[in-house]
């Protein structure tokens, strides 16, 4: 069977028993950002979904709602998703900028298409016997925060900011309570600089300016109130191996928990190249173990293995083979835990 992949995402979701005798969750997202279609030949003809079920490994993809709604590529987009995947994550449709239009004004059109707009209704996800992962409730970067909030920032007090955050998270999470098993509650809150003088090196953003580090505590508390059964995650890049940012993430989560926040796990974003090596016991394994030792589930929420290209084609064709080996080493990494 030939599978054509164009600017798409696949991920593996694996459940294992941790050293604490509880379920650990690991999700791999494989990003293929190519400007032309790459043809990949597979040996099975039953589809990845059936194959992954037989292996006990749920499999999924990122989706664009407009592509589903418009049945692009003569319906092949929808068909391939139904045939190959069990889990989906909207690329942007559940992010604050897509939903939060103004105070108490929300755009739930795409979310309702996927999940249904009432507790008893169903959407595309349930109708196709899939599950959905929510991404995200708070993105701690100004360029990802709804523009109307930034425009009104001078007039918004700290108390008002807390009230707005509560209203938004309760509105979104409550609407889809029981339909979204996992939420990225806060996304990318830690700055890339070594020391910006903020607690835990948190980046400057609207939410930090209004509420300080407490904005994260409130976000997790509000999300748990809205759906006590949802698994809540902090999602971050640059923490897939041991180092300062990983340590700061652990310190941040410990503090949040001490303040009463419920945090079930951490999302690890992997943005690497074909020169990256992943071997048992290395910095990547040690980083994962640090999170597990802190009683956190792990999701490898984003994984892209970049290949140098020219005009959309690999400069060195051998890199495609190397890329496959890196993905295989990531699978070994997941299975290890």
Active-site residue numbers? 188, 302
Helix or strand or coil: residue 200?
helix
Question: Taking the mean position of all CA atoms in its chain, how far away is CA 268?
Answer: 9
DSSP state of 244: H
Q: Are 263 and 220 in contact (CB under 8 A)?
A: yes
Q: Treating both helix axes as pointing N-terminal to C-terminal, what angle do 158-175 and 214-226 enclose, rounded to 10 degrees? A: 30
Q: Are strands 131-139 and 87-90 parallel, antiparallel or unpaired?
A: parallel
Q: How many other C-beta atoms are found inside a 10 Å radius of the C-beta of residue 310?
A: 7
Q: Are 236 and 298 in contact (CB under 8 A)?
A: no
Q: Which of 159, 256, 296, 174 is nearest to 223 (CA)?
A: 174
Can you point out the beta strands (E) in 263-329?
A: 265-273, 297-306, 309-310, 313-314
Interior/surface letters 132-145, b for 16+ CB within 10 angstroms, e for the rest:
bbbbbbbbbebebb
Q: H or E stretch including 334?
A: helix 318-336
Q: Are 5 and 85 in contact (CB under 8 A)?
A: no
65: which residues sit within 8 A by CB, 6+ positions away?
A: 90, 93, 110, 113, 114
Query: How far apart, in Å, are the Cα atoms of 301 and each of 68, 95, 255?
Result: 22, 15, 23
């Amino acid at each position: 069977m030939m599978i054509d992949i164009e600017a798409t995402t696949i991920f593996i979701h694996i459940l294992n028993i941790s050293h604490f005798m509880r379920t650990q969750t690991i999700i791999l997202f494989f990003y293929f950002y190519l400007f032309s279609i790459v043809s990949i030949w597979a040996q099975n003809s039953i589809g990845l979904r059936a194959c992954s079920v037989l292996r006990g490994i749920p499999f999924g993809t990122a989706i664009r709602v407009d592509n589903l709604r418009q049945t692009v590529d003569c319906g092949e987009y929808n068909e391939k998703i139904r045939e190959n995947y069990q889990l989906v994550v909207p690329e942007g449709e559940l992010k604050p900028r897509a939903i939060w239009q103004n105070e108490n004004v929300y755009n739930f059109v795409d979310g309702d298409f996927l999940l249904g707009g009432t507790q008893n209704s169903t959407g595309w996800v349930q109708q196709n016997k899939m599950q959905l992962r929510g991404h995200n409730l708070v993105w701690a970067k100004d360029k990802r925060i709804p523009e109307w909030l930034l425009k009104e920032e001078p007039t918004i007090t700290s108390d008002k900011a807390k009230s707005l955050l509560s209203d938004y998270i309760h509105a979104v999470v409550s609407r889809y309570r029981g339909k979204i098993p996992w939420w990225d509650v806060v996304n990318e809150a830690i700055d890339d600089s070594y020391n910006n003088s903020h607690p835990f090196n948190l980046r400057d953003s609207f939410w930090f300016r209004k509420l300080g580090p407490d904005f994260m505590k409130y976000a997790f508390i509000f999300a748990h109130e809205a759906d006590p059964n949802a698994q809540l995650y902090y999602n971050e890049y640059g923490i897939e191996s041991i180092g300062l940012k990983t340590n700061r993430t652990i310190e941040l989560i410990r503090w949040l928990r001490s303040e009463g926040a419920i945090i079930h796990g951490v999302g690890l974003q992997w943005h690497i190249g074909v020169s990256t090596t992943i071997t048992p016991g290395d910095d990547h394994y040690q980083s994962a173990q640090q999170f597990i030792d802190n009683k956190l589930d792990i999701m490898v929420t984003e994984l892209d293995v970049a290949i140098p290209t020219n005009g959309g084609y690999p400069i060195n064709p051998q890199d495609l083979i190397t890329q496959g080996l890196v993905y295989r080493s990531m699978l070994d990494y997941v299975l290890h835990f």
